Amino acid sequence: MIGQLYIVTAPSGAGKTTLVRALVANDPGIAVSISHTTRAPRAGERDGVEYHFVAVQDFLDKVANDDFLEWAEVHGNYYGTAKSGIEAVLNAGHDVLLEIDWQGAQQVRRSFAATIAVFILPPSLAELERRLCGRGTDSAETIARRVAAAREEMRHVDEFDYVIINDDLQQALQDLLAVVNASRLRYAVQRQRHSSLFTTML
């Protein structure tokens, strides 16, 4: 039995991380892949929990060794998903979720065509900027750069299977749960996960 691979993508400030955490809390059948990044940890972030925090040279060495399933430079920092572990978890029948940007999504889907990709949109650019300001961690210049980058990122929304507008967190969570539940009810998945039942009844 092969697990399902999910991608969740969103511009910074759209609430992706909060939404994914809520999803995992409601559905323990999904494991979240921990990415590598060269950016500095934010307050409260722990190495090996939110991210694997690595030096730039260490990251580039991994790129040279073809250790990443996908990787990209975002806002001046590198992010990547290590190949090791992903295929093993999927082959063990467990679902895996990747929190990655649109560039990474393109790379992953070249290797895993059956990946289900979800894009999270903010309700407006004004609300996106308000959320970024509310973090209190970035300068006005950084926030302006992130908003500009968000415009570019959102132009790739048509490359995704599902789009969720995160205006209300609980509604967005229900929408994301619906995507996951519906994907598990597809014929090919049900036939695979309940093969003995299908064999007996058909």
Long-range CB contacts (within 8 A, 24+) of 194-201: none
Strand order in the sheet with 77-82: 52-53, 36-37, 77-82, 68-74
Comparing C-alpha atoms, which of 93, 78, 82, 72 is closest to residue 156?
Answer: 72
Look at residue 123 in the predicted model and tell me its pLDDT. Answer: 94
Look at residue 141 in the predicted model and tell me its pLDDT. Answer: 86
Look at residue 146 in the predicted model and tell me its pLDDT. Answer: 85
Distance of CA 89 to the CA centre of its chain: 16
Can you give the pLDDT of all 202 residues of the chain as single tens digits?
A: 689 999 999 998 899 999 999 999 999 899 999 999 999 998 899 999 889 999 999 999 999 999 999 998 988 999 999 988 788 888 888 999 999 999 999 999 998 888 999 999 999 988 988 888 877 677 888 888 888 889 999 999 999 999 999 999 999 999 999 999 999 999 999 998 899 999 998 8
d(CA 78, CA 47): 15
Number of domains in the chain: 1
* CA-atom Rg of the chain in angstroms: 18
d(CA 6, CA 16): 13
Q: Could you tell me the CATH number of the domain that includes residue 111?
A: 3.40.50.300
Distance of CA 21 to the CA centre of its chain: 11
Helix, strand, or coil (residue 97): strand
d(CA 2, CA 14): 31
- Domain span including residue 98: 5-201
